[in-house]
Chain A
Amino acid sequence: MFGYVRPFKGELLVKEYDAYKGVYCQLCRAIGDHYGALARLALSYDCTFYALLALNQKNASVRAEKKRCTCNLMKKCTYVCPANGDGYSEACFHKAAALCVIMTVHKLRDNIEDESFFKGLAARLLCGLSGRAMKKASADYPFMAEAVQRMMDAQHAAEHAERVSIDACSAPTAELLETLCQELGETEADKAVLGQLGYFLGRWVYIMDAADDLPEDLRKKNFNPFVEKLGLSAYLGGDLPQEQRDAADRECNAVLNGSLARMRPAVNLLPEGEFTGIIENILNLGLPEMQREILFLHIKEKKHGRSV
């Protein structure tokens, strides 16, 4: 997962913003408690969303608590902690923490394969250091480790298939999130809703990542499913002309809209809980805003000082 699943801050209520931050901080703490201080680096917005979704599923009992920040001792943060003896909310944070670790380690291993020896050195080092945390997380939630491994294998197969398609390439990530979200439901109906939500969220995340990386992948001649779909192989190794770039952005945006349209029914059917407002904000406003920032405002490139 890649940090695309965030709330749209402008439309959050102040109390929702506080709750979001509290869950984020508590997840950071949970990672530290279960998998060691170094594993905290794996903290991500995506996994915070997963924690929120899990907490909301059964109206977990939580309370706000002011404590010192784990990283900056001078700062005090408000944490959203599991209420005393509430095993369910403890489990939610534990599960999200394990997901952070497993996803990050897989991402690191992926980078090692892609990069040259020296560039992959940092990833190799981190990967070695995180071996224990990874083992522990996999032992805590074997279904998670299995699902991620299955995703990695299927991804490899889809990217090396004879006919590359957006649908086939995004399916492994979509199915991974389908499995992960489904697991949070209890009844068949819950599982159906969460499964659909997960599938199209995963599809969206994969396609967003591919669209975001398209210019760089073209320059570096890396694999990207949009190269074949949009017929851009002539531009491999260079920059896209402005006109093609705009057309590509619009096409990527349309593909992403398709996924969000299919996700909407599942969002409507989520249970009403303490965090429903934040979850709806993330899915209905945060994701479209991400499309806008990345595909139309090119915020990342401006940050890095590259001309657009």
Chain B
Amino acid sequence: MADPYKVLGVSPSATDEEVKDAYRKLAKKYHPDQYADSPLAELAGEKMKEINEAYDTIVAQRKNRTAGGYASAGGYGHVRGSGRSGFSDVRSYIMAGRIADAEQLLNGVPVESRNAEWYFLKGSVLYRRGWLEEAKEHFTRACQMDPGNPEYQAALNQAMNQRSGVYGGYNPNMNTNVGGCNTCDVCNSLICADCCCECMGGDLIPCC
């Protein structure tokens, strides 16, 4: 394995705090949440594993504490295998990264039997191809046809968050685009956290 200090980009003389700081920065950079449905998820996962191992090694070497932070960089994405799905073959293609095959199957479905799930899956295919606007329209349609579905809602929420500038870009409601955190950020983050909780079955803000 590579020198764990080199992996984290700190010198061996760095304090525990500095090591932790470097680890946190890198962990944030490669956190799987950012790579949802990105073809680069696997690469980021490898990086994450590398820095996790490096951090664990350093901590073990220094015999201070056990490692905290992110346990593993498991796959994360909108599309999951689902027992009750009418499109299980499409789902398995998408999960395997065979986007063209998935799209071909989807396009073969006659217009009258295109349900909410069809729109969601087509949206996922478009999203992966980088056709973000049409993906958003398909997610919206899926949510309209099946309003209570957390899977479709999570996909739409992410598309909307990306457009709002949460994941980079320019947010006109913010006074500055260089760092800082204002009240608007706080609300946005809370709403985001609430959405995340809700799609996992919990609830952070009971009123929304």
Is this pair of chains taken from one and the same complex?
A: yes
Given contacts A265-B35, A268-B29, A269-B47, contact A258 B132 (CB under 8 A): yes
Given known A-B contacts A269-B40, A292-B177, A262 and B132 have beta carbons under 8 A apart: yes
Which of A18-26, A81-89, A91-99, A248-256 sits within the interface? A248-256
Query: When each residue 188-224 of chain A gets 1 if its CB lies under 8 Å from chain B and 0 otherwise, what string results?
Result: 0100110010011001000000000000000000000
Q: Tell whether, in the assembled complex, residue A269 and residue B43 are in contact, meaning their CB atoms are under 8 Å apart.
A: yes
Q: Are B44 and A268 in contact (CB under 8 A)?
A: yes
CA distance in complex: A23, B161 (Å): 36
Check A193/B169 contact, CB under 8 A, given A167-B134, A262-B38. Answer: no
Q: Does A240 contact B (CB under 8 A)?
A: no
User: Could you tell me how many residues of chain B have their Cβ less than 8 Å away from some Cβ of chain A?
Assistant: 33
Interface size class of A (residues with CB under 8 A): 35 or more
**A-B pairs under 8 A by CB, number:** 110
- Mostly, the A contact residues are helix
Decide if A260 touches B39 in the complex (CB within 8 Å).
no
Q: Which of A165, A193, A259 has the most CB of B within 10 A?
A: A259
Q: Which of A196, A203, A257 contacts B163 (CB 8 A)?
A: A257
Contact indicator A257/B165 (Cβ below 8 Å): yes
Please choose the segment from A107-115, A147-155, A281-289 that sits at the chain B interface, where 4 or more of its residues have CB less than 8 A away: A281-289
Q: How far is the CB of B22 from chain A (nearest CB, A)?
A: 13
How far is B41's CA from A264's CA once the two chains are assembled, in angstroms? 12
The distance from the CB of B137 to the nearest CB of chain A, in whole angstroms, is 9
A126→B206 CA distance, assembly (Å): 65
Query: B40 — which chain A residues lie within 8 A by C-beta?
Result: 192-193, 196, 265-266, 269
List residues of chain A with CB under 8 Å of any chain B CB: 10-11, 165-168, 171, 174, 189, 192-193, 196, 199-200, 203, 229, 250, 253-266, 268-269, 284-285, 287-289, 291-292, 295-296
